[in-house]
Structure 1
Amino acid sequence: MKLVRYGARGAEKPGMLDAAGRLRDLSAHVPDIAGQVLTDLGRLAAIDPETLPLVEGNPRLGACVGGTGKFICIGLNYSDHAAESGMEVPPEPVIFAKYTSAICGPDDPILIPRGSEKTDWEVELGFVIGKPAKYVTEAEALNHVAGYCVINDVSERAYQTERAGQWSKGKSSDNFGPTGPWLVTPDEVANPNDLHMWLKVNGQTMQDGSTATMVYQVPFLISYLSQFFTLHPGDIISTGTPPGVGLGMKPPRYLKAGDVVELGIEGLGTQRQVCENDA
């Protein structure tokens, strides 16, 4: 299944794509793609999409999951990206928080913070927890995944690395977490650790990689994280980015108002964001 949330920000409705890629309304069956709904997606899989109301027009898409409690990111999880950042691959995953106020729809604008000169892009594979996970093994880990999605881990590099403290303040500005367009259930993702991913800025390809080069892969990450805290339905984990970010270019290149960012992952859909200066 490809599950969707659509409509005005803060008032999104649940939806599903049919075989032709048309948006269907799930409101009569579930209140949202969130929380306990994620623990029993088999109930939604049993619904014939052709029986659902067709959503007319081209509504805004929201983040593909609602009610997220934790937005966890993994840093330096591609060896070639670590190299372009001038850092070593860590002996254990680097974990940081992207605060949930950063979450937005896949085509919402990137808001460049006041005074920012180093806003950057990162295409990433995200996955959403469907069942609580605590002290799980790698062998059990994928049973706790509700689905996979595209994430742009937008980052302000000066805030992230040139000012004291944690990375989160460079990762969590408003609209720094475009998520979606779809939550794609695991039955449609043959191998999350072998997906092509790409990102363009103003039509120029910047990132062209594969999840196959991740250092710490999805089952390990779930097991690892669950040793420290419980993962709950709706939690998002973003797994890191391949090389090609603005920070690694010579000279570095960063986003400015008017730039258009397009990105996607094989089988998980695409995003498109226009950059704007934050008010």
Structure 2
Amino acid sequence: MRAADVAEAAVTTAVDATNFLTASNASIEAFKTANLLKGLGVNAVIFGERGTGKLTLARYILPHAPVIDASRFDELLDAIESHSEVIIYRLDNVANLKRLIEALQKTRTRVVATAGGRYSQDQLDEIFTIRLALPPLAERSEDVAALIDAFVQEARHTLGKTEPFERNGFVPDLSENAISLRRQVYLHYLFDSIGENDLMGIMEHYLSDKLGSNNDYRAFLHLYEVPLIRAGIKRFKSQLQLAERLGLNRNTLRKKIADHSDYQLETKEH
């Protein structure tokens, strides 16, 4: 299995491995509310961006309830009919909110749902007594540090790594909250020790299904030039120094940077 495939498989199998962490004030308060909800028989909805821990918290509240994606509407209705407790995943995707409300009122099934915020408070008042919001990780710096520690331990176990995780220059990717952060930790850990043959194997795997036109060399040259120029910009800071290190005419380097303007290659002229 290639390095990229190993990383992807590791991230996929590790999705539910980390429990809800409580390092920030926001997550501590959310966990307190979750503990109260475990002992109550009321319905609750947990709001937040993707990757903020909504589903983990919902599973903590209802550990034995089936998790049903709201987009599978018929399956969701069947689960409501046949279970006393149900977790509704991604409530925003439900096809018919009115019919869902009617089903819940008829069966009295207890539900905890996760949502991004598509529906108004008035619409949700008919179903949910408690509404809980999880802020993005960018607003929970203490949780970010704790999650990195947890993901590093997880990655070491999954990838069989023993060397320490190099954090110099590691800037957390919070674009998808914990999802992007976990993926970044795995890839950082994996690629920190990757060799040339592994790197070429990844490129070969990527290109194998994409070749076939009459202009492939020029079409895929950016896969080599862009990371090379980016790395040079970070290290040498100026076009003049970078051109010298690469053995290129300065005008040639400038043209290459212009050709790859979509990738935001910027550096000082001197």
TM-score (norm. length: structure 1): 0.22
TM-score (norm 2): 0.22
Larger fraction in strand: 1
Write 1 or 2 for the structure with the bigger share of helix.
2
1 or 2 for the larger relative contact order (CA 8 Å, sep ≥6)?
1
